Amino acid sequence: MTHATQNDATGTTEASMHLEYLYGPQWREVVRIIERSGQLRPGEREKLNAEATKSMQNRMSALSGGAGGEGGLAGLLAGLGQMSGQQATEPLAIATQTAKAFGRARNVQVAGMVAGQAVAPGASGISSGDMSGLFESLGSLGAVTVVGQAVTAAVLGDLIGRGEFTQAVYDELMRPYATSIEP
Sequence-separated (6 or more) residues with CB below 8 Å from residue 28: 19
Q: Residue 144's domain spans which residues?
A: 23-180
pLDDT band of residue 178 (cuts 50, 70, 90) is very high
Range 121-126, long-range pairs (CB < 8 A, 24+ positions):
121/38
Within-domain flag for 34: yes
pLDDT band of residue 118 (cuts 50, 70, 90) is very high
Within-domain flag for 154: yes
Sign of CA dihedral 72, 78, 84, 90: negative
Tens of pLDDT, residue by residue over 40-67, are: 999 999 999 999 999 888 777 766 655 4
Within-domain flag for 112: yes
Contact assessment for residue 119 and residue 38, using Cβ atoms and an 8 Å cutoff: yes
Q: How many domains does the chain have?
A: 1
| pLDDT more than 90, % of the chain | 56
Within-domain flag for 14: no
Within-domain flag for 12: no
Q: Average pLDDT, stretch 153-166?
A: 97
Contact assessment for residue 79 and residue 69, using Cβ atoms and an 8 Å cutoff: no
Within-domain flag for 155: yes
pTM for the full model? 0.74
Of the listed ranges 47-61, 71-85, 88-102, the least confidently predicted one is: 71-85
Within-domain flag for 77: yes
What is the per-residue pLDDT for 65?
58
